[in-house]
Structure 1
């Protein structure tokens, strides 16, 4: 049964339970609401909650656990010779899943029967030829063990989904009966429903924390595995980035310093562009602009935040790069050899960050109490003096937060760097040379069917962990500075 249908059936059972639970509670009270402990809707909600929650929880757990069990079982069926031919078990399992998808599509399109797709005695050549004739992707890597594993993969998934559907529907019906049994006048339905809602709110509040913990743990485990294969000292202090894709690493040089330098260099250029323009725009909009001008200018400025980053990347590649090359290239000053450079990516990224700085700074400046402005004017200060000596110091903690948000956005940007800055990992002070960043290399290292047990793939997690620690340290330092300044100001 498709997952969507199963979910809708559970919701339909819950809706029926709500109506029956409410009616049953009223009937037990003789039709008089005053004889009930709770309002009738609480009794209906009690039935609906007991119907939906256990069924959905089991469904979610099943969907998480089943792929682990299936993959573990199928990987044990694949002979070592097939793994050796494809260099890693991960690549073999990818081919198994692609072949299984091809079988599913062939059955769905009527190109072969379900019985034939499942038949383990079917001729290997016949099955693969039918898949090719049906237009399904079957490469030369598909061998007879992979095909048999794909057939078993489909069977196990189909059987697991069938069992899950039966258990989920049984739990939904059991929850319905349980809720109906409690639908009587003396039952404290309101207490039960409010406790369930409280648990739901706690779970929702915990999602962010659990997600953060999961991200950190995934980075930590893979980073530790990387440092078992590659020396940490060479990674953190190496000045060369030259990964080798032969074997299990070969003589790769995976020094992170060139990538960190490119990341911070491009981010600094972007902040030099975005912070002054964004801050001046925020001061103008909040202190000088008329309501009519502000109503038009601020939405137009914030439109920049809605442009996809790939569009900014194309703008850097097709417009800004050639423009800078015409000025600083061989026909101009001779400083620039190609359109992809730190300056290209930094300028475009700075344009992208302007609305982050201006919009947040504008809201922060407007939050400064009007009494502070009036007091400054009352002491004889001009408007510019009031802005410089009263408003900006009062809004400084929030403005620092806006700049940090823009910096985090710059450090994590990928598409503008890929298209505008190039892919060269180098240590250089020349802003007109091509460089790359940590995020761009993370993408390149994980693109394609990589062997996740090799340093070339695991290094992406080490890069991510390094960037995470650095940005966290910068945020903590900035928070400390802001708090110290706020204490002095107050």
Structure 2
């Protein structure tokens, strides 16, 4: 029974409980809703909430902790001698999960029975052939203990899955019956329903916070693992990026950090003035007809996929900059450059700055403009001395959003700036960014426990700290300006 089917059954129980609860409330009052403490729908809502919410919470928690429990239980069945040289425990556990999945698939297809699985051995040729049919390729050197661990993994997973299904459905039925039995004319169903909904809203608001905490802790743990394998001093101060995946790698962040900041600076250098000027014109000078056409046209840029911008940089902007600027000035001969990626990224960022700034400027009260006009200020003076200072916090937020978008961009940099990690001031040379290297280090058939792979988490944490620093700096600037303005 799949998660979707279990969820559907729980929703069905909740829906039936809603109708039965509403009907019982009406019958208990003799059909006169004036005798009820709450409206009939509230009585149905209490049954629905008690039937659905606890069951879904249990299912979520169970699905989160079940793999952790099975992994810790099965890992003990694998001895250090079962781990081949050059491999790791994580790779062996990946094989265990693949074999367990293949056995499950063969069981569902009817090619194997439970008795067949219990008698299977890793060194049998027909076992490898059957698993190959299920998409699992076994080598002849697979240890019997690893195969037994896979069978134990599959057995525990199946048993715990069935236990979860029974527990979730039982809790759903128990919640529905409990709430249904409490229905009476004096039952404060509205208070219970609103309190439950309030708790759900609070829980929903915690999702973003808990997600952020989970991301940060996952980055911290894997980064700490990386620094146990590679010196932190070399990572932060080495000016060479040369991962070898065979030992002797140089993994310095400085060239990647420089490329990230350089490309983002050029993008913001073009995007912020153009976007801000467009926002001022649309909000203060443009006619309603022109505004209704120009603003949607600008916002279309935000909906274009970044791969399209990357192709535009590779095919059009890069060759144009090379032929008309880089080669005549003797600054380079490649179409992939920081300037190419920066200009194309600026085009992508213009709607972020323009649209948000336009909304913020329009939110400035008209009374402030009228007061400025009444004191004899011109339109341009009012914009410079009244409107823009009042809208500064929102404008800073728009610029910060654009900066974060620029720092995290990948496809435009890959296709427009290249993949060379270097320290250079020439904007017409190929460079790369942190996000590009995060992708490259985590793709391919590489050992996850190696420093060359774990470095991606250290790069991600560094990028997170940079973005957090931008937020703190922006808040400081806004608060300081607000104090002066007020």
TM range (shorter): over 0.9
Match of 1:387 in 2: 383
Say whether the 8 Å CA contact 1:342–1:431 is kept in structure 2: yes
For structure 1, which segment, 114-123 or 36-45, has the greater mean C-alpha deviation from structure 2 after superposition? 114-123
Say whether the 8 Å CA contact 1:95–1:141 is kept in structure 2: no
For 1:7-33, what per-residue CA distance to the aligned partner results, in whole angstroms no more than 9, with x for missing partners? 111111111112222222333333332
Distance in 1 of aligned mates of 2:387 and 2:42: 52
Match of 2:278 among 281, 284, 297: 281
Distance in 1 of aligned mates of 2:222 and 2:303: 34
Match of 2:400 among 379, 404, 407: 404
Equivalent residues in 2 for 1:51-450, closer than 5 Å:
51-85=51-85, 87-108=87-108, 112-115=111-114, 118-121=117-120, 124-132=124-132, 134=133, 136-138=135-137, 140=139, 143=142, 145=144, 146-246=146-246, 250-330=247-327, 332-450=328-446
Say whether the 8 Å CA contact 1:86–1:92 is kept in structure 2: no
Pair 15,135 (structure 1): closer, same or farther in 2 beyond 3 Å? closer
For 1:313-344, what per-residue CA distance to the aligned partner results, in whole angstroms no more than 9, with x for missing partners? 222222222222222454x4332232221111
For structure 1, which segment, 365-374 or 141-150, has the greater mean C-alpha deviation from structure 2 after superposition? 141-150
Match of 1:461 in 2: 457
Pair 73,300 (structure 1): closer, same or farther in 2 beyond 3 Å? same
Aligned alpha-carbon RMSD (Å): 2.3
For structure 1, which segment, 41-50 or 273-282, has the greater mean C-alpha deviation from structure 2 after superposition? 41-50
For 1:221-243, what per-residue CA distance to the aligned partner results, in whole angstroms no more than 9, with x for missing partners? 22223223322222222211222
Distance in 1 of aligned mates of 2:303 and 2:483: 37
Pair 58,433 (structure 1): closer, same or farther in 2 beyond 3 Å? same
Distance in 2 of aligned mates of 1:108 and 1:21: 40
Say whether the 8 Å CA contact 1:42–1:190 is kept in structure 2: yes
Say whether the 8 Å CA contact 2:437–2:456 is kept in structure 1: yes
Once the 2 structures are TM-superposed, how far is the Cα of residue 384 of structure 1 from its aligned partner?
A: 2.9
Say whether the 8 Å CA contact 1:316–1:344 is kept in structure 2: yes
Distance in 2 of aligned mates of 1:142 and 1:7: 42
Distance in 2 of aligned mates of 1:416 and 1:73: 45
Once the 2 structures are TM-superposed, how far is the Cα of residue 355 of structure 1 from its aligned partner?
A: 0.3
Once the 2 structures are TM-superposed, how far is the Cα of residue 114 of structure 1 from its aligned partner?
A: 4.2
How many residues align? The count is 484
Unpaired segments ≥5 residues, structure 2: none
For 1:340-385, what per-residue CA distance to the aligned partner results, in whole angstroms no more than 9, with x for missing partners? 2111111111111000011011111212222333333344443333
Pair 420,107 (structure 1): closer, same or farther in 2 beyond 3 Å? farther
Q: Does 1:486 align with 2:482?
A: yes
Once the 2 structures are TM-superposed, how far is the Cα of residue 102 of structure 1 from its aligned partner?
A: 3.6
Pair 341,347 (structure 1): closer, same or farther in 2 beyond 3 Å? same
Distance in 2 of aligned mates of 1:378 and 1:104: 79
